[in-house]
Chain A
C-alpha cells in the first residue's frame, strides 16, 4: 500500500483540526474536546470489537479503571500526574487481561454479556467497597486538571487523538491488521494457519486497553472529577459503540469520524430535544446510516470521493 496518500490525509486532518479553534466559538471548542475523548474511546473499542469481532459491552470498565486509579492516586496521595496517569494506564492493562479470560472460551453475544457484567460489577464495587477511597456514589471531585481553558484542552486532546490514531493506523496496516481480521472471520482457520489465536487476542486486548486507559486517565483530569453513575453508564457505552459503528468499524478514521459526527448531532439536537429522547433520534439516524452502508460514514465518504474525483478532474480539463 503506498504511504504518501494516507499520510497526506492525516496531515490535512491535523492542519484542519488545528485551525478549527480560530474559526469557531469557545462553546464549540468545548464540544470538540468531548468529541476528542469519544474518538479515543471509539478507536479503543474498535481495536477489540471492530477488528477481532469480540464485541465489548464493557468498555467503561476499562476506561473506569484508569480513571479511578489516577483519580485516587492524585486525590489521596497527591501523586504527580506524570506518575498517576501511567499508573492508570498500567492498571487498565491488567484489567484488559481480565477481559481476555472470557474471550478464551466464548465469543459473540456471550462475550458481550460477560463484559457488560464487568462494567456492572465495577459500578457496584466503586460504591460499596471502601467508599472513603473511591468517593462512593458521589465519586471524587477536585482532581487536578492538566491545563485549563477550552482551547488548551482542545489542543491537548486533539494531540492525543492524532497520536493514537496515527499510531494505530501504522500498526494495523501491517500484517497484524490482516491477522486480526482473519480472527474475526474464522478463529479455527487462523489456528489451522499456524497462528496462536490467544496471542493475537492478547495483542488486540492490550492495545485496546492501553488506548482506553490513556483516554480514561486524561478524561478524569479534564473533568476534574469522577463519579460512577456517569461513567459506568449504558448510554455512555452505546455512544462509544455507535460512534465506532457509525463511522466505520475496522478502520482508524471511521471511529474518529463517527465520534465527531455523533457529538455534534447530539449537541445540535439539544435545543429541540433537551431530554433523553435525543438518544432515540440519534439511534434512528445511526440505524439509517447503518442500513444504507454497513461500513459506515467512512465508506460513504470514500465512495462519494471516488465518484466525485472524475467529475472534478473533467472540470479542470475543460474550464
Chain B
C-alpha cells in the first residue's frame, strides 16, 4: 500500500500501564505527511498519554513508535524534538522567570554545550517567530504570569515552531480560550496547514476542531474506537456511547 511511504508518525500496538490503570491498550494510530489529524475521546481516554509516548516522555510497556519509518521507541525526547516532533502541553509549561522572548530563545537553542557558549544566537528569528503567532514587542517583554490563557497557548505554539518541527502535537489547544482567541489560534493553524505542516490535535472543542482536521481518530479506554471523516465518526454509535454514556 502507498500508506507506508506517506506515514510520518505512527504508534503500533502500544500499551502503557500506570500501576493497575491501563492508559493505552494496544493503541495503533498514525498521521500522514501534511495531514491534520484530530484525536478526540472522553476524559481519561489516553490522548495525553499517547502524546507522551510519541514524544518519548513516557516509555510504553509494549508496542513501538515510528517516525519516517524509523523505530524511535527508545529515542529520548530531546532527540525526537531535534528530528522534528514537537508538542504543546494541555496546561502550558512556560519558563516562568523568563520573558516571552527568552522562552522562545530557549526553544531555538542548539543541543550542544560548546555551541551554546561559543555561538551568538541568530538575530531576528526569535522576533519573527513571535510575530508569526501575533506577538509584538510589548508581549515579547512580558512574563508568562502576565499572559492570558490564549496568549500562553500562542507562546507554546511559538516555542514548538522554534524547534523547526515536521509534526506538531497540540494538546487541548482551545481549552480555556475565548471565542476570539480560538478564532485567532485556528487561523494560525490553518496557515501552518497550508504551509505543509503535519499535526495531531487533541481537543474537546469539537466544533472548533472540525474545520481544521482532515481525519479524526476517536479513543476510549486507551484504544481506537472509531476513525474517519468528522461527520461519519460523530454518527458512529460507539462514539456516542463513549461520549454520552448511551447508544
Residue numbers of A with Cβ under 8 A of B are 171, 174-176, 178-179, 181-182, 185-186, 188-197, 199-200, 203
B59 to chain A, nearest CB (A): 14
**B78 close to A176 (CB less than 8 A):** no
**B77 close to A191 (CB less than 8 A):** yes
Known: A176-B117, A191-B76, A191-B77. 5 other contacts (CB 8 A): A174-B117, A175-B117, A176-B113, A179-B116, A185-B95
Given A191-B76, A196-B111, A185:B81 Cβ within 8 A: no
**B116 close to A175 (CB less than 8 A):** yes
CB-defined contacts of A185 to chain B, threshold 8 Å: 95-98
Find B86's partner among A174, A190, A192, A196 (CB 8 Å cutoff): A192
A251 to chain B, nearest CB (A): 13
**B113 close to A199 (CB less than 8 A):** yes
**Once the chains are docked, how many angstroms separate the CA of A193 from the CA of B113?**
15
A105 to chain B, nearest CB (A): 14
Given A181-B98, A182-B98, A195:B109 Cβ within 8 A: yes
**Once the chains are docked, how many angstroms separate the CA of A200 from the CA of B116?**
10
**A186 close to B95 (CB less than 8 A):** yes
A-B contact pairs, 26 of them (CB 8 A): A175-B109, A175-B117, A175-B119, A175-B121, A179-B109, A181-B97, A182-B98, A182-B106, A189-B93, A189-B95, A191-B77, A191-B81, A192-B55, A192-B89, A192-B93, A193-B78, A193-B107, A193-B159, A193-B163, A194-B86, A194-B107, A194-B163, A196-B78, A199-B113, A200-B113, A203-B113
CB-defined contacts of A191 to chain B, threshold 8 Å: 57, 76-78, 81
Those 7 A-B pairs whose CB atoms lie nearest each other, nearest first: A194-B81, A191-B77, A176-B116, A193-B107, A185-B95, A175-B116, A189-B93
Best-buried of A185, A189, A195, A197 by chain B (most CB within 10 Å): A195
CB-defined contacts of B87 to chain A, threshold 8 Å: 192
Interface membership of B68, Cβ < 8 A: no
**B121 close to A197 (CB less than 8 A):** no
Find B57's partner among A188, A193, A199 (CB 8 Å cutoff): A188
CB-defined contacts of B81 to chain A, threshold 8 Å: 191-194
**Once the chains are docked, how many angstroms separate the CA of A252 from the CA of B77?**
32
Given A188-B57, A192-B77, A195-B111, A171:B117 Cβ within 8 A: yes
**B78 close to A197 (CB less than 8 A):** yes
Given A188-B57, A192-B86, A178:B98 Cβ within 8 A: yes
**B111 close to A199 (CB less than 8 A):** yes
CB-defined contacts of B163 to chain A, threshold 8 Å: 193-194
**Once the chains are docked, how many angstroms separate the CA of A200 from the CA of B111?**
9
8 A Cβ contacts from B110-141 to A: 111, 113, 116-119, 121
A30 to chain B, nearest CB (A): 37
**A182 close to B95 (CB less than 8 A):** yes
Given A194-B163, A199-B111, A178:B102 Cβ within 8 A: yes
**B78 close to A179 (CB less than 8 A):** no
